[in-house]
Amino acid sequence: MKKLFPFLRPYRKEAILAPLFKLLEAVFDLLVPIIVKKIIDVGIVNGDKPYIWKMVGLLGVFAAVGLACALTAQYFAARAAVGFSAGLRSALFRRIQGFSYRETDRAGTSTLITRMTADVNQVQSGVNLTLRLLLRSPIIVFGALIMAFTVDLHGALIFTVVIPLLAVVVFSILLSGFPLYRRSQKNLDRVTELTRENLTGVRVIRAFRREEEETERFAAANAEHRRVQKFVGNISALMNPLTLLLVDAGLIALLLSGAIRVNSGAVTTGSVVALTNYMAQILTELIKFANTVFTVNKALACAKRIETVLNTPVGMPEETPAEDPSAEGLAVAFRGVSMTYAGNAAPSLSGIDLSVRRGETVGIIGSTGSGKTTLVNLIPRFYDVDGGAVFVDGRDVRAWDTETLRQKIAVVPQKAVLFRGTVRSNLLWGNESATDEDLWNALEAAQAKAFIEQKEGGLDAPVAQNGRNFSGGQRQRLTVARALVRHADILILDDSASALDYATEAALRAALRRLPERPAVFIISQRTASIRHADRILVLEEGRAVGLGTHEELLDSCPVYREIYESQFQKGGEPA
């Protein structure tokens, strides 16, 4: 929790005033039974109506002042809790934005979403209830005990038996429920993960008619979450009946003892009524306190989960590794590179050596899982190498400032991701200072100018979430245009033409060769037709380089490349 306290610091005034006004409300509540006692013992016994009306008016004043204090406390508590959660959520989002791919993979997307939403909301509720009730309830309980002793010493002894028993019941249930809440939150992560997977892959699920299987998977995870929640709820449900049982037993003992002593004249009727009111106050406040502590208990479990995210180191540390003179003058150089994903036993890349000059186009091909995307992800340092080094402009990427390094690189990822807004707002992600001329030039090079011109609004045409109002090929061309707007020194196209026809793809390749900035271009593709005209082609197999050369050279010297080519083309060069 220490990591979260600073987010409450800007609301110190509200955090102090909220419990203070609740304390004032509690004081007025504790005085009410005394006034009722005087109404009975003085006003009713003596038939003094003016005194009764005077005391009733005083009760009305106490009620009005107590209500004002309660509303003021609620205002300050809500202001502090909402401001605290807003600051926490912003910090959490900034932290997640700074995560490297490795850290995001390790945490899991569904878990991060849950911690940004459900966990933060739970902590917000915990802060609100802590400021409003966590201090008020103990004050009422112990205040009622003290006031009971001032009313009648003999009757107050019953309180000294009931209150410890209530405390034992409350805290026993709380301690047994705490680990179950953490387990419940983990189950919620699983439910969120399955929901996200199904919503993201809904078309695939329907295409393969897997609705029933996915429904069963979700139902199983949901049932487990429900089972744990139900078990926790059953434990929590013991709170009210057990506390009611003890308090009612105390009330019976109090009324029985009071009736006997009233008949003997040892105590007044008003005193017994006051003691009964104090017992009722204790019951009410203990139930409130139990519910508050349950909420705070869940909030603490959520706070620990949030704290683990905030404690996760952001980004990758800058280093000053040894330089390699052979990398001087090269746009990109891989020297003995190996890399293993967290949790994997086998390396995804092993012993990769490759040198790429400015203006050169390198195609990368291989079977699924051969390490193609992993290799290019090392250039902008989305992942760190486990062995060897990657150089950009003759300098190890680990020695670069991350922001400076990535300004030199434009990436078109495998999945064409567009954001809700306009064509212009999406293209400006590549370069915020780009002019309309720059945007149209990028669209023309990406073979996207024609269909954007046909859209109403042109550059200001709307883009739906994930670009749903564009076809797959159009989305790919827009993501290529977004990368070209940057005018980067290194351009990475990760299977970014898979939805394009051969003619459009050929026109795109020709446009890339005419780019005035002459970037080093990396083209990843499953199709040999997409990379056959590259200056050189790197062939990967199970993370190792098994071929490097031109299309013709690899057909003669690399069996893996020749097998891929022949599986896509008939002999003679015709498509298979």
The one-digit pLDDT tens for each residue of the chain (576 residues) are 567 888 888 998 999 999 899 888 888 888 888 888 888 888 888 888 888 898 889 889 988 998 999 899 999 999 999 999 999 999 999 888 888 788 887 777 878 888 888 889 989 998 998 888 877 888 888 888 888 888 877 777 887 888 788 778 877 777 777 677 777 777 887 888 888 888 878 888 888 888 888 899 999 989 988 888 888 778 777 777 887 788 778 788 878 887 887 777 777 888 888 888 888 887 778 777 777 877 887 788 888 888 888 888 776 666 666 677 777 878 999 999 999 887 777 888 999 999 999 999 999 998 888 889 999 999 998 888 888 899 998 888 888 888 889 899 999 988 888 999 999 999 999 888 899 999 999 999 999 999 999 888 899 999 998 888 898 889 999 999 999 999 999 999 998 887 788 888 889 889 988 888 899 999 998 888 889 889 999 999 988 999 999 999 999 999 999 998 988 876 545 554
**57: exposed, middle or buried (C-beta count within 10 Å: 0-12, 13-18, 19+)?**
exposed
Of 259, 285, 309, the one marking the end of a domain is: 309
Contact 364, 537 (CB under 8 A): yes
Q: Looking at the domain assignment, is residue 45 inside a domain?
A: yes
> Is the residue at 44 inside a domain?
yes
- CATH number, position 84: 1.20.1560.10
- What's the number of domains the chain is made of? 2
CA angle 55, 59, 62 (to 5 degrees): 135
Global confidence as pTM: 0.69
**Distances, alpha carbon 41 to alpha carbons 204, 255, 259, in Å:** 79, 17, 15
pLDDT, residue 318, reads 63
What is the pLDDT at residue 574? 52
Cα(435)–Cα(431) distance, integer angstroms: 9
Q: Are 304 and 427 contained in the same domain?
A: no
User: How far apart are alpha carbons 62 and 42 in whole angstroms?
Assistant: 20
Say which amino acid occupies 406. R
Cβ atoms 384, 398 nearer than 8 A: yes
| Residue that finishes a domain, picked among 254, 281, 309 | 309
- The answer to whether the CB of 360 falls within 8 A of the CB of 352 is no
**Burial annotation 302-312 (CB, 10 A radius, 16+ → b, else e):** bbebbeebbee
Question: Beta strand 361-366 with 536-541: parallel, antiparallel or unpaired?
Answer: parallel
For tokens 């934005």, what's the residue?
97
Amino acid 415: pLDDT: 85
Question: How many Å apart are CA 353 and CA 389, to the nearest integer?
Answer: 10
pLDDT score for 571: 52
Q: How far apart are CA 8 and CA 299, in angstroms?
A: 15
Residue-number span of the structural domain to which 294 is assigned: 5-188+236-309
Residue 374 lies in a domain: no
Measure the CA–CA gap between 22 and 136, rounded to whole angstroms: 6
- Residue 267 located in a structural domain: yes
Do 419 and 296 share a domain, yes or no?
no
Q: Distance between CA atoms of 311 and 91, rounded to whole angstroms? A: 12
Kindly state whether residues 285 and 148 are assigned to the same domain.
yes
Of 115, 118, 78, 85, nearest to 99 by C-alpha is: 115
Q: Name 5's Cβ contacts closer than 8 Å, sequence gap at least 6.
A: none
Query: Strand 462-463 to strand 421-422: parallel, antiparallel, or no bridges (unpaired)?
Result: antiparallel
Looking at the structure, tell me whether residues 421 and 303 fall in a common domain: no
So what's the pLDDT on residue 570?
62
Tell me the three state secondary structure of residue 540.
Answer: strand
**Ordered strands of the 520-524 beta sheet:** 409-412, 490-494, 520-524, 361-366, 536-541, 544-549
Q: Is residue 160 part of a domain?
A: yes
Q: Which helix (H) or strand (E) element contains residue 491? A: strand 490-494
C-alpha of 308 from chain center: 12
Q: What's the CATH number where 474 sits?
A: 3.40.50.300
Cα separation, 70 vs 21, whole angstroms? 7
Query: Looking at residue 375, what is its pLDDT?
Result: 93
Between CA 291 and CA 57 the distance in angstroms is: 33
18 and 141 within one domain: yes
* Calpha distance 99→513 (Å, rounded): 34
Q: Pull the structure tokens for residue 199.
A: 């919503």
- What's the confidence (pLDDT) of residue 9? 87
What is the rounded CA–CA span in Å between residue 550 and residue 536? 5
Closest by Cα among 285, 278, 290, 289 to 251:
278
Cβ(23)–Cβ(72) below 8 Å: no
303 with 420, same domain: the answer is no
Q: Are 557 and 547 in contact (CB under 8 A)?
A: yes
The length of the chain in residues reads 576
- DSSP letter (8 states) at residue 321: P
pLDDT at 300: 83
**Is residue 298 included in any domain, yes or no?**
yes
Q: Is 27 inside a domain boundary?
A: yes
Domain closes at, from 286, 309, 332: 309
End-to-end CA distance of the chain: 63
- The verdict on residue 388 lying in a domain is no
